[in-house]
Every structure is written in C-alpha cells, then in structure tokens.
Amino acid sequence: MPTEKPDFIEAGHGETVVLIHSSAAGAKQWRSLMTMLAPDFHVVAVNLFGYGKTRAWTDGRPQTLEDQAKLVEPFLPSDGSKISLVGHSFGGSVAMKVALMHKDRVRRLVLIEPNPFYLLQQQGLGDGYREAVRLRDTIRENGQSGSWETAAEVFADYWTGAGSWEAMPDDRRSRFAEAMKPNFHEWDAVMNEGTPLSEWGKGLPKDTTVISAADTVRSIDQIIQLMRGHCSDWHFEKVVRGGHMAIMSEPEKLNPIVARGLS
C-alpha cells in the first residue's frame, strides 16, 4: 500500500527541509521560519494526522511514531538525495523517528524541545515521567467525555504557564480546544515507543542540534539532560527564556538558531 501524502505547505527552492509541527499547532506554526529559509531551501511543512486537511487518526489501534513518520516519506526526493528535518515538541519526536528510519537520507536534524516521554521511564526519571502521565491522563479523561475546553486549559497552562488559558480570548479558546483532538492519540506514540536512548545516539545524524529553553517544564528539561548525557556528538543550544513554545512566541530569537543548525 503506497504511503499516504499529508496536507502540507511549501516554499523556496533547493535542498529539501521538512518541518514537523507540535501538538495542537499545525504546519502554519512555521510561517516565519519558512520565510527565513525559503531563499536557500525547498521548505515543506507537513500537517500530521488530524491537522489541516490531513485525515484524523481513525485506525482503531494505538498510534505510533512510525505512523506519523511515514507521512514524511512522500517528501524524500526520488533521486535519492538527502533532506534535513526540523521538529518541535511532538514534531521533534516524529523527526527523530524519520531520521532513524531513513538514516541514509537525512543530512541534518534540528530538534526543538522534543518530547519522547517514554525515555524518562526507561531511564528511571520518575518525577518527570509522572508529570507527563498526569497531563496525558487529564487530556484523555476529558477528551473521552467531550470536555475539550477543560483538556485545552490544562494543556495550555502546562506548556505556557498558569493563567495562559484564562488570558486567551474566547475565539482563540474555541480554536485551541478543537486543535486538541489529535493530541488524544499522540500520547500513545510518545509513551509507547521502545527505541533505547543509545540507539538514538548512534542512529541519528552527527549533525543533530537540540534547542531548549532554560525555563521549560521539568519533563522536557529532563529529556534534554538525558540527550546531553548520552548523545555527545550532538550540538546543544539553550535560550534563557521563552519556555516550551518559544519557537512560536519568540521566533525572532529561535529561527536564527534553527537556520544555523541547517547550515
């Protein structure tokens, strides 16, 4: 069965760079980065399952990172040349899987606050893992009951700080709650992945850049610490503030770091 092609937006010409968005966002989160990269690259921003016009996840089984990674396969050049990948949060975890599945086709990898939460349990970091589990369970319970606004409030306040939901205008809240629905299935992908940390370190490109914020949430901070300790060939960049969503809230600071990681 041929790999399905997701909804996407594109710009520019040159070597392909695929951008993979975070949960509750979509390809449009990359607009400013696309503008910066388009003079030098063919930039493709994909919409994962349930975003844009890409179909929702309806396969009746737990979603995996491989399922999402396969959405990127149609953008691998037919001539066998290499691409680069940029992923934020959940998109970072998907980008890792793409790079592992296609080791000989990925030149550079830029990960912005990636969220492979299963690594926290695998490496014995129970406090960060329990934090992620509480968030997952709250979103799942409210999603199952159709209380998407409650799920969205918890999600927003966790990732962007207490009071974030309260500060949103009503129309933004409504759109955000709707955008939460794909996240219900994404938890399976980041909690049930089994790839050992050592395999990521050996299998991903040496030209891997990991970008994080000093004021990010504990679960992500612990994931970054694990990567620093086990993936010594990678390059690590840290911004002082901006939190988990800095790539969207302060793109003028993050975009140049991403561009350097692709050069």
Q: Which domains are delineated in the chain?
A: 8-123+195-261 (3.40.50.1820), 126-185 (no CATH)
Contacts 24+ apart (CB under 8 A), 137-140: 139/180, 139/183, 139/184, 139/187, 140/184, 140/187
Question: What pLDDT does residue 254 have?
Answer: 97
Angstrom distances, CA of residue 192 to CA of 24, 97, 137, 147, 195: 20, 13, 14, 25, 9
208-212 mean pLDDT: 98
Question: What pLDDT does residue 59 have?
Answer: 86
R_g (Cα) of the chain, nearest Å: 17
222-245 mean pLDDT: 96
Measure CA of the first residue to CA of the last residue in the chain; give whole Å.
36
User: pTM to 2 decimals?
Assistant: 0.97
Q: What is the pLDDT of residues 95-124, one digit of tens each?
A: 999 999 999 999 999 999 999 999 999 999
CA–CA dist 60, 249 (Å, integer): 35
Arithmetic mean of pLDDT over the chain: 96
pLDDT grade, residue 3 (50/70/90)?
low
Q: What is the pLDDT of residues 47-91, one digit of tens each?
A: 999 999 999 998 889 999 999 999 999 999 999 999 999 999 999
Q: Three-state SS for 119? A: helix
Question: What pLDDT does residue 234 have?
Answer: 97
Closest CA to 242 of 226, 223, 220, 222: 220
Q: What is the pLDDT of residues 118-145, one digit of tens each?
A: 999 999 999 999 999 999 999 999 999 9
Closest CA to 230 of 211, 203, 251: 203
The strand pair at 83-88 and 106-112 is best described as parallel
CA–CA dist 41, 21 (Å, integer): 18
pLDDT grade, residue 4 (50/70/90)?
confident
Any idea which residue has 């179909």 for tokens?
A: 55
The strand pair at 208-213 and 235-239 is best described as parallel
Question: What pLDDT does residue 193 have?
Answer: 97
Question: Does 1 have pLDDT greater than 90?
Answer: no
